[in-house]
Structure 1
Amino acid sequence: MASSARELTLIGVCDGDIDPRRHKTSFLTNKVGGPPDWSPLTARQSPCCGRCGSTLVHAVQIYCPLDASRFHRNLHLFACPQSECRGGPQCWRVLRSQCLETAVTASRPAPAQEAPRSATAWCDSADDWGVEEEEEEEEEEDGWSGGKNSHVQVEREASERDVNSQLQDLSLAESQGDVPILRSFFISVVDESDLAGEEDDLQHVQQLLKDYEKREGVVVRALGGVDLEEKYEKASARHGDGLFAKFMKKISLCPQQILRYCHGGEPLFICKPPPNMAAVVPACGICGGSRMFELQLMPALVGVLQMAGGGGGTELEFGTVLVYSCTNSCWTAESQSAVDEFCFVQLDPDQQLFK
């Protein structure tokens, strides 16, 4: 099993709150926070912190089937919300789960959609894990390996959004008991190559401004009030090398990106990695094979991660979290337990530059 030969980088951005009274989610949904949606054949898990033993919060869920594979495939990232554990590598876990397409055909859940307007749609007996029981939908699945896709667009008035988010927080806090829950948002997927044209347009406009300044002898304020090129230079000087500046310049195409996905590609380091990075990434604990880079969480996600139920702004502090998964994506049809993959955490050398 392998992803497409062309190295494709997809970026994820937040796309509105998930209100459990209006939206059903399933393991086919890309989302931030909320409870994890396990596939029908995968045992539910509540992983604990390797440092303090606390129950980890579910941070991100990604549906990422591989090309030419018979399996559905998910990655779930969990992190410890305790202040003393923030940023620690042993305080993050990523679990990979898979299931055969044929095994879920009879009860296949639909991608996240607006639920029927029914007073009993989300009663206590409803399926908390988002499996569609009444009908099958033939909509395209929202994956990461096969190309760019978009999630449901959530459009509503600001006042309605506030009410819905409060109801969501209350519902999640009550239904999950002592398990910590983060506010939940859809993730929309964009092909990074589609943003290149926008960068060319911006550079062209900036060049026109420079020509105008030279010709007229005046100074025009930088576009958007921010001189990105100057910021890169300052960042490079402050941190002693160009790696952080390169990171900043790369994400300037879409500063609000919360996730980058490039299965088998190259990670975008925020600071200098260990010289023996290849040795730092352990072999797969199941098959003993090598692991490859698959995705990373980005600094913009830090400001999005908030506890549900008005629990305050519990931030998970990190610069970027890199996920390495089994090159073979080893799995058997009989497997029912999600398997651990590897997280490598880099702290943010200058968090205020992202605010």
Structure 2
Amino acid sequence: MAPSAEEDWSDSDEEVGSEVETSVLLGVPDGPITSVNELADAAVSRIGGHPAFLLANDPPISSCQCKICSLPMELLVQMWCPFENSPMDRALYVWGCANPGCQRKDGSVRAWRGLRYNEKYAAKLEAKLARKSAQEEAKRQVEQAKQASKANPFSLKVSSNTKNPFGLGAQIFGDTSSGANDMKNDQLSEDEESEAESSTSEQSLLTAMTNTTLSESPWTAAPAYLPPLYLSTASEYLPPQPKTKISSSVEVSEPSVEGGRDISWAFEPYENSLEVDQVFERFTKRVGYEGEQCIRYDLNGTPLPFSSDKIFESLFPTPVSDSLPVTEPDFKIVLPQKRIYTSSDGVLSPCKICKGKRIFECQLMPNLINILRNIESRPSKTLSDEDRRTAVQQTLKGGSEKGMEWGTCMIFSCKNDCRVDEEGKEENDVWREELVLVQWDV
């Protein structure tokens, strides 16, 4: 319903009111990890440190090598992020090179996802989906019975395959001979499963833990930011959008809501303007609401671009503008053009294995660099003399100071979260590199 034109609308950008929750999860640092068990648990998200892998065997050490200098990179973050209704345990790993000579070059930040088939959870998931399907079928039959009774209200004939259309009354009066008993049994089975899941939640997570340490692995030779920090998540809250004065004759659309959260901001288009860098202004404004954020996680959502560079141009292309009228009588108002996020195959390269579409998953934020600067980067004591000499020479070539210079790193993952090999066969252990687009600091 359109607001009244006489209503007092605020033009202030900081309107007083309750905040709204977006679809974004923010990753923030939460103290050092000291437990040996948690350091070996792939389900514990972290900043820095050594990776904890899901795979039965460690992936090749070349996964963390910088494509510019070929030296091992430090782990920036590890995130536990299984897909919903997937039988696969899943973790995302991101490495970054801090050598000055590698900055602003593709390949100095790399992301990989590790998958491992969780047999116990897969069985629970299959039973859950089967029960849900049965419940939906039961609802469908009830709806069919209701529609049939509406078509002929004087007919009391009920098919033997159709549940009692008066099931509600039967439940109220305690008739256990009808479909009410089936519903009760369904509820009992759900309660039993919930209790079982609660009692075995710790046991389920053990499938994500590595039973072996990295003590005999080549990964111990890689440098790392130590000690690692917990990466905790929190929902993003934003102040409500400011209200503007508007005519009562103008139709106002309702805000987009998904899962009880306001996501209208995610679809807010960018003005196509050449004045100030509105992209950077919007970035700093949104990040300013929670300055501690190191990660923005929004699977299949919209990335928050850092600046109006070539990456922004590709993800938020210039729209086709309406042509201006050439004759004087054809008066026409041309509204400012808007830029809207696109993830078409022409912009993002598809998955190299299944050729599936890539979707935005998360992005690293500038505060992560600040956090890592406060953690010491320590090369392993097991590095050979030749490796140490190479590392020193590489540092001298690039300068005396090391540091990452990106504004944000966007990770785009396979939408299918594929676990097939090149021959199309499903694998229980999967190690795949994902697409990283880096917007460098201005």
TM-score range, shorter chain: 0.5 to 0.7
Of 292, 307, 327 in structure 1, the residue corresponding to residue 376 of structure 2 is 307
TM-score by length of 2: 0.50
CA 1:140–1:54 in structure 2 vs 1: closer, same or farther (change >3 Å)? same
Report the residue type matching 1:331 in the other structure. Answer: R
Does the alignment pair 1:62 with 2:79?
Answer: yes
Report the residue type matching 1:336 in the other structure. Answer: D
Residue 275 of structure 1, CA deviation: 2.8
Does the alignment pair 1:138 with 2:202?
Answer: yes
Counterpart of 2:351 in structure 1 is 284
Residue 315 of structure 1, CA deviation: 2.7
SS in 2 for 1:89: coil
Task: Give the aligned CA root-mean-square deviation in angstroms.
Answer: 3.4
Q: Retained in 1: the 8 A contact 2:26–2:294?
A: yes
Instruction: Spell out, residue by residue over 1:138-167, the C-alpha distance to the aligned partner (whole angstroms, 9 max, x if none).
Output: 2897xxxxxxxxxxxxxxxxxxxxxxxxxx
SS in 2 for 1:39: coil
Counterpart of 2:296 in structure 1 is 260
Describe how 1:1-355 pairs up with structure 2 within 5 A: 8-20=23-35, 23-41=38-56, 43-46=58-61, 47=63, 48-102=65-119, 138=202, 178-183=221-226, 184-192=228-236, 195-196=237-238, 199=239, 240-272=276-308, 273-277=311-315, 278=344, 279-305=346-372, 306-309=375-378, 314-332=402-420, 333-349=426-442
The whole-number CA distance in structure 1 between the counterparts of 2:59 and 2:412 is 22
The whole-number CA distance in structure 2 between the counterparts of 1:298 and 1:239 is 25
The whole-number CA distance in structure 2 between the counterparts of 1:24 and 1:265 is 30
The whole-number CA distance in structure 1 between the counterparts of 2:274 and 2:427 is 53
TM-score by length of 1: 0.61
The whole-number CA distance in structure 2 between the counterparts of 1:12 and 1:20 is 20
Residue 56 of structure 1, CA deviation: 1.8
SS in 2 for 1:302: helix
Percent of aligned positions with the same letter in both sequences?
25
Range with greater deviation from structure 2 (326-335 or 256-265): 326-335
Looking at CA atoms only, which structure, 1 or 2, has the larger radius of gyration?
Answer: 2
The whole-number CA distance in structure 2 between the counterparts of 1:329 and 1:310 is 33
Q: Retained in 2: the 8 A contact 1:43–1:336?
A: no
Structure 2 gaps of 5+ residues are 1-20, 123-199, 206-213, 243-272, 316-343, 381-399, 421-425
Q: Retained in 2: the 8 A contact 1:60–1:78?
A: yes
Report the residue type matching 1:138 in the other structure. Answer: E
SS in 1 for 2:23: coil
Residue 317 of structure 1, CA deviation: 2.0
Residue 70 of structure 1, CA deviation: 0.8
Q: Retained in 1: the 8 A contact 2:117–2:429?
A: no
Range with greater deviation from structure 2 (16-25 or 30-39): 16-25
Q: How many residue pairs end up in the alignment?
A: 245
Instruction: Spell out, residue by residue over 1:32-72, the C-alpha distance to the aligned partner (whole angstroms, 9 max, x if none).
Output: 11111101435333221111211122111011111111111
Structure 1 gaps of 5+ residues are 1-5, 106-135, 142-170, 204-236, 350-355
The whole-number CA distance in structure 2 between the counterparts of 1:335 and 1:259 is 28
Q: Retained in 2: the 8 A contact 1:7–1:262?
A: no
Range with greater deviation from structure 2 (308-317 or 68-77): 308-317
